[in-house]
């Protein structure tokens, strides 16, 4: 079944809401705004859509989020669901939507996600979210928050491979350099390695600028069959490969802190696409904290295990680098509204593959890899997108 999905489904619409601090719209309204924007981009009426997928909101949770959104917009889909897999939500649902299209459960599917973590949560509520992800018996009693869990992976990588804080800082610098070219990004002022290392310590070795932003924002795409995709206003972007990997739920149960299930997810996506790391013109890698990018670069085969830091320094992941990573600025500099965070990597990839990314447009953008993970390096999903179906 997996091989049969290669090139069978395409993205024909992509749209983002404003990001950063958007107090005039709550999370529900941001999601509705994203849907309306993507319908306009794809040249569709809401009556043309028969599939709707959303994710729930942390700031405004609803029991039946997708159904409530459909009701609000007076859409009546035959395929409707809300999903939740942390930051991996975005990508893990794409192959479900693709399967629905391939099997005739739906013809045109909108995937839309939004949240208001910046404007919709008090500081106390935000801290509660940060501290409630750990295992209730083995982790929460120690009072750790999400940055501290990711700091464990950073410390392990340093201990095992000699990685330095400067290597982590280079990730933040590269993402900010991409964001400087993106007028929609939340943070655009250039930063240096020293800026990162001199920013406030959050959880050793993570400084403030090693940590993703807290944002409001929403994003959406439209999926349809490859056959129908040619009838839409924009050049279609085809799904070539998809793969998941799951290693644990809680970080205390991880078998390894420096190798993640991104390895299995990537291998499965490469196998479906019939491609490998060297075929990728760019990568959008989940960058909730800088060490995750090093681990993902290694696990996805862009460099050998333990060589993520030197790869970033010597080969480059910023503008003009050998492997441009997070060309929109990523979670570190574009925005991070929580579960919807990776949606912006997806829409950015669509624009790169369409050739409409403006000043940040890559010279060659025929095939790209996208990777997201949820939990604490827990649930992973890799997508490979291309301009051509084959």
pLDDT tens digits along 54-106: 999 888 888 899 999 999 999 999 999 999 867 777 888 999 999 999 999 99
pLDDT tens digits along 350-385: 999 999 999 999 999 999 999 999 889 999 999 999
Q: Please give the Cα distance from 261 to 254 (Å, whole number).
A: 10
Q: Please give the Cα distance from 16 to 217 (Å, whole number).
A: 8
Residue 125 has pLDDT above 80, yes or no: no
pLDDT tens digits along 184-215: 999 999 999 999 999 999 999 999 999 999 99
pLDDT tens digits along 239-254: 999 999 999 989 999 9
Q: Please give the Cα distance from 329 to 315 (Å, whole number).
A: 18
Tell me, letter by letter, the H, E, C secondary structure of 294-314.
HHHHHHCCCCCCCCHHHHHHH
Q: Does 205 sit behind a cis peptide bond, omega within 30 degrees of 0 on the bond before it?
A: yes
Q: How many CB atoms lie within 10 A of CB 102?
A: 17
Domains and CATH numbers, the chain: 3-121+214-229 (3.40.47.10)
- Give the CA-trace dihedral at 347, 349, 355, 361, to 10 degrees: 110
At residue 45, φ and ψ (nearest 5 deg) are -95, 160
pLDDT for 2 equals 45
What burial letters (b/e) apply to 362-384, b meaning 16+ CB within 10 Å?
A: beebebbbbbbbbbbbbbbbbbb
pLDDT tens digits along 295-351: 999 999 999 999 999 999 999 999 999 999 999 999 999 999 998 999 999 999 999
Residue in the block written with tokens 């340093």: 158
């Amino acid at each position: 079944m997996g091989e049969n999905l290669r090139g069978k489904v395409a993205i024909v619409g992509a749209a983002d809401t404003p990001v950063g601090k958007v107090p005039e719209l709550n999370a529900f309204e941001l999601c509705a705004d994203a849907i309306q924007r993507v319908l306009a981009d794809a040249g569709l009426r809401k009556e043309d859509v028969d599939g709707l997928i959303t994710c729930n909101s942390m700031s405004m949770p609803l029991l039946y989020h997708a159904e409530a959104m459909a009701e609000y917009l007076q859409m009546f889909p035959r395929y409707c669901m809300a999903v939740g897999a942390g930051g991996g939500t975005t990508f893990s649902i794409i192959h479900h939507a693709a399967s629905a299209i391939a099997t005739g459960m739906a013809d045109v599917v909108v995937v839309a996600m939004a949240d208001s973590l910046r404007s919709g949560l008090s500081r106390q509520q935000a801290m509660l979210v940060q501290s409630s992800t750990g295992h209730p018996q083995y982790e929460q009693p120690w009072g750790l928050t999400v940055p501290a869990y990711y700091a464990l992976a950073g410390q392990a990588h340093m201990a095992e491979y000699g990685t330095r804080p400067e290597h982590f800082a280079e990730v933040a610098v590269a993402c900010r350099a991409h964001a400087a070219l993106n007028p929609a990004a939340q943070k655009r002022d250039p930063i240096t390695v020293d800026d990162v290392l001199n920013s406030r310590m959050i959880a050793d070795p993570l400084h403030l600028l090693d940590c993703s932003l807290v944002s409001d924002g929403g994003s959406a795409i439209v999926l349809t069959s490859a056959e129908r995709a040619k009838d839409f206003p924009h050049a279609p972007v085809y799904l070539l490969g998809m793969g998941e990997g799951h290693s644990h739920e809680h970080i205390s149960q991880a078998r390894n802190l420096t190798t993640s299930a991104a390895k299995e997810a990537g291998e499965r996506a490469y196998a479906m696409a019939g491609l490998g790391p060297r075929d990728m013109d760019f990568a959008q890698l989940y960058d909730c904290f800088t060490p995750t990018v090093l681990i993902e670069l290694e696990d996805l085969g862009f460099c050998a295990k333990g060589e993520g830091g030197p790869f970033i320094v010597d080969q480059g992941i910023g503008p003009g680098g050998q492997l441009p990573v997070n060309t929109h600025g990523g979670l570190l500099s574009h925005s991070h509204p929580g579960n919807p965070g990776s949606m912006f990597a997806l829409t950015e990839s669509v624009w790169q593959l369409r050739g409409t990314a403006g000043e940040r447009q890559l010279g060659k953008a025929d095939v790209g890899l996208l990777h997201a993970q949820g939990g604490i390096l827990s649930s992973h999903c890799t997508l490979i997108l291309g301009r051509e179906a084959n």
